[in-house]
Structure 1
Amino acid sequence: MAYVWLTVAIGFEVLGTSLLKPSEGLTKLWPSMGAMVSYLLACGMLAQAMREIPTGVAYAMWSGLGTAAIVSIGLVFLGDNLTTATVSGIALIVGGVIVLNLAGAH
């Protein structure tokens, strides 16, 4: 169940981060409120996941997979550019999460 909490936490973190650009620096009410509520839910669910998953593994997965998802959303929906550095960075992040999990850190 802990990995379900973590997956949902990642989803809310990605949603919150995705709403930051439309909030225009937290000056637009509804996107700003959505971002804040999403972050609050993400942190609450991350805390639930960390009851069973070691802190380092949970946080690495939360931040790493969230970052990879945000880059993808930026590319598809927000007009961000794909560079060699972006691809390399994402590969390193995802690779690190895989290594942590395969190494038995959980």
Structure 2
Amino acid sequence: MAYLYLVVAIVAEVIATNALKAADGFSRLGPSLLVVLGYGVAFYCLSLVLKTIPVGIAYAVWAGLGIVLVAVVAALVFGQVPDLAGLIGIALIVAGVVIISLFSKMVGH
């Protein structure tokens, strides 16, 4: 169940972060409300995840996958396509998350 909450936390954070761009400095009500709601859901779900998964592992997965998904959504919605250095950095983040998820002795303990 913890990994389901982690997925919800990641998706909510990605929605909130991209809504933050659309909120235009909190000058647009709809996106601004989505920011507050999205981050609220993200942090609540992350707090539930931390009952089971160690904070270092949970945060690494949450932040790493969040970075990748925010970059994908930003490219598709806002036309903010990463350059080669950005793509290499994102690939390294994904590699780190995979290594942590597959090989860390702390996962699930």
TM range (shorter): over 0.9
Equivalent position of 1:6 in the other structure: 6
CA distance in 1, matches of 2:65, 2:54: 16
Listed as ranges, the gaps of 5+ residues in structure 1 are: none
Query: How far off is 1:103 after superposition?
Result: 1.6
CA distance in 1, matches of 2:42, 2:82: 27
| Seq. identity, % | 38
Query: How far off is 1:17 after superposition?
Result: 0.4
CA distance in 2, matches of 1:30, 1:79: 21
Scaled by the length of structure 2, the TM-score of the pair is 0.93
Equivalent position of 1:64 in the other structure: 64
**Paired AA for residue 67 in structure 2:** T
Deviations 1:24-67 (A, max 9, x none): 01111111011111001100000101111110010001111000
Aligned residue for 1:90, secondary structure, equals helix
Q: How many residue pairs end up in the alignment?
A: 106
User: How do 1:15-94 residues align onto structure 2 when only pairs under 5 Å count?
Assistant: 15-94=15-94
**Paired AA for residue 85 in structure 1:** A
Q: CA RMSD in A?
A: 0.9
CA distance in 1, matches of 2:38, 2:82: 26
Listed as ranges, the gaps of 5+ residues in structure 2 are: none
CA distance in 2, matches of 1:59, 1:21: 23
Aligned residue for 1:40, secondary structure, equals helix
**Paired AA for residue 7 in structure 2:** T
Aligned residue for 1:26, secondary structure, equals coil
CA distance in 2, matches of 1:89, 1:74: 16
**Paired AA for residue 80 in structure 1:** Q
CA distance in 2, matches of 1:34, 1:76: 19
